[in-house]
Amino acid sequence: MSWRAPVRTSGSRGVADNVPSAIGLVAAAALSIQFGAALATHLFDRVGPAGAVMLRVTIAAILMVILARPGRRLRHVGRRDLGVAVAFGLVLAGMNLCFYEAIDRIPLGVAVTLEFSGPLAVALAGSRRWTDGVWAALAGAGVALLATGAGRHLDPVGLVMALLAGAGWVGYILLSKQTGVRFDARTGLAIAMLSGAVVLLPVGLAAAGADLFQPSVLLIAAAVAVLSSVVPYSFELVALRRVTPRAFGVMLSLDPAIAAAAGLLVLGQHLTGRELTALALVVAANLGNAVTGRSGVVATTA
């Protein structure tokens, strides 16, 4: 029999107090993952996007297994629960591979705004109150403004890869939610990361070969793994146990703004007035959701 955290919906003060902590976790995860993505671009010339994402996921999987030590727990895990965690890992692998292929071809901020179409769709699909629609529409306007102001000569393959990453993000939100209620955060994430690493290993080896094992490459990849996988996914799994997928999708509206900041600070991509306006809209949507989105809160009990 697998371990489960019962999920309940409540309007109590204790549950509502989970909203600020969930927002803080999502914001911290976004900071970590976007600066990790900017750092990962320095690996592309040496091992390519496929090699970089394989190293990131594999190193993250090893770290998560060391931290979680899931061996004993797996003896009591049902096939259905294990299947959810494995599916989560496969979605992670595909989403990250598409995203790295995208940022190898188009600017980081543009890739993230296009990728955001996935969680934005989740937010819109689950809307029940008019205020939810307002915040989702406001975030969407910011994303559209940022994307359309990025330039007209963008690599079409990069654009398609970013959109595919956005589709993968929908699966990530839904499957990570299910993984979070079936396992403790570390165990579920360890299973998922291992599954993703197994799938990506032959892809990375085919793309980069022996270059993957250079000490300087491994050092950067380890930093990327911690920043882009271990820290953000752990935080987001905890956050998803406190809010609905719809509310989580709107919270992720911070990602384009943080990606633009990472592009500026790490890659020297300067912000225009149009981009600053877009970032203001995105931040406003996130704050609006934090204030009025309490009806979408869920809490867990151990």
CA distance 232 to 96: 13
Nearest to 243 by CA among 4, 64, 28, 24: 24
Output the pLDDT for position 21. 72
> Over 60: is that where the pLDDT of 297 sits?
no
Angle, helices 108-115/79-103, rounded to nearest 10 degrees: 140
CA distance 137 to 148: 16
Q: Which residues contact 62 (CB under 8 A, 6 or more apart)?
A: none
**Contact predicate 107/146, CB 8 Å:** no
> Over 70: is that where the pLDDT of 30 sits?
yes
Output the pLDDT for position 217. 94
In the chain, what percentage of residues exceed pLDDT 90?
19
In tens, the pLDDT along 47-83 reads: 999 999 999 999 988 888 887 776 665 656 677 878 8
Output the pLDDT for position 101. 94
The pTM for the full model equals 0.76
pLDDT band at residue 302 under the 50/70/90 scheme: very low
Output the pLDDT for position 25. 81
**Contact predicate 281/138, CB 8 Å:** yes
Output the pLDDT for position 10. 38
- Reported as half-sphere exposure (CB side, CA atoms, 13 A), residue 250 has a value of 32
Q: Which of 130-134, 142-146, 222-226 has the highest mean pLDDT?
A: 222-226
CA distance 83 to 182: 11
Q: Which of 132-136, 200-204, 206-210, 286-290 has the highest mean pLDDT?
A: 200-204
In-domain check, residue 2: no
pLDDT band at residue 124 under the 50/70/90 scheme: low
For 269-288, letters b (16+ CB in 10 Å) and e give bebeeebeebbebbbbbbeb
> Over 80: is that where the pLDDT of 119 sits?
no
Cα-based angle 84, 248, 255 (whole degrees, multiple of 5): 110
DSSP 8-state secondary structure symbol assigned to residue 184: -
How many separate domains does the chain show? 1
**Contact predicate 228/21, CB 8 Å:** no
Output the pLDDT for position 231. 84
> Over 80: is that where the pLDDT of 32 sits?
yes
In-domain check, residue 299: no
The average pLDDT across 240-248 equals 68
Strand 7-9 to 298-300 pairing: antiparallel
> Over 60: is that where the pLDDT of 152 sits?
no
Q: Give me the helices (H) in the chain, please.
A: 13-16, 18-40, 44-68, 71-74, 79-103, 108-115, 117-125, 130-148, 156-182, 185-208, 215-225, 231-240, 245-251, 254-267, 273-292
> 76 vs 106, which has greater pLDDT?
106
Output the pLDDT for position 301. 30
In-domain check, residue 50: yes
Question: How many of the other CB atoms lie within 10 Å of CB of 90?
Answer: 18
In-domain check, residue 200: yes
The boundaries of the domain holding residue 89 are: 10-293
Average pLDDT, whole number, for the chain? 76
Choice among 69-83, 209-223, 287-301 with the minimum mean pLDDT: 287-301
What are φ and ψ of residue 150, in 5° steps? Answer: -85, -10
> 219 vs 171, which has greater pLDDT?
219
Output the pLDDT for position 145. 74
**Which tokens is 137 given?**
């529409």
> 125 vs 87, which has greater pLDDT?
87
Output the pLDDT for position 9. 36
What are φ and ψ of residue 87, in 5° steps? Answer: -60, -40
Nearest to 148 by CA among 288, 272, 284: 272
In-domain check, residue 5: no
In-domain check, residue 51: yes
